[in-house]
């Protein structure tokens, strides 16, 4: 697309070069960001979710009036 726009004089050479640089940079960063997510962000989020308070059945039933039966 960039070369087509450049060939039809829609973009200048400077604009085309800048656009190619941006596309190449985004193609480089995308896999790295996925790796960062899988190895750093997702495990931290998973550990944070498992920190929810848990209530044991013994603690729940000990306050019932007929629990001593």
Which residues have C-beta within 8 Å of that of residue 11, sequence separation ≥ 6?
2, 5, 19
| Number of residues written out for the chain | 69
Cα separation, 23 vs 20, whole angstroms: 5
At residue 13 the predicted structure's pLDDT band, cuts being 50, 70 and 90, is very high
pLDDT of 44: 87
Quote the number of domains for the chain.
Answer: 1
At residue 69 the predicted structure's pLDDT band, cuts being 50, 70 and 90, is low
pLDDT of 51: 53
Question: With contact defined as beta carbons under 8 Å apart, do 47 and 40 qualify?
Answer: no
Tell me if 42 is assigned to some domain. Answer: yes
pTM of the model: 0.54
Tell me if 33 is assigned to some domain. Answer: yes
Q: What range does the domain containing 7 cover? A: 2-48
Cα separation, 48 vs 27, whole angstroms: 31
Tell me if 9 is assigned to some domain. Answer: yes
């Amino acid at each position: 697309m960039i070369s087509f726009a450049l060939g039809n004089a829609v973009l200048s050479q400077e604009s085309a070069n800048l656009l190619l640089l941006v596309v190449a940079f985004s193609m480089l960063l995308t896999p790295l960001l996925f790796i960062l997510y899988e190895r750093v962000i997702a495990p931290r989020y998973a550990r944070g979710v498992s920190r929810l308070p848990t209530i044991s059945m013994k603690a729940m039933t000990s306050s019932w009036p007929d629990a001593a039966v």
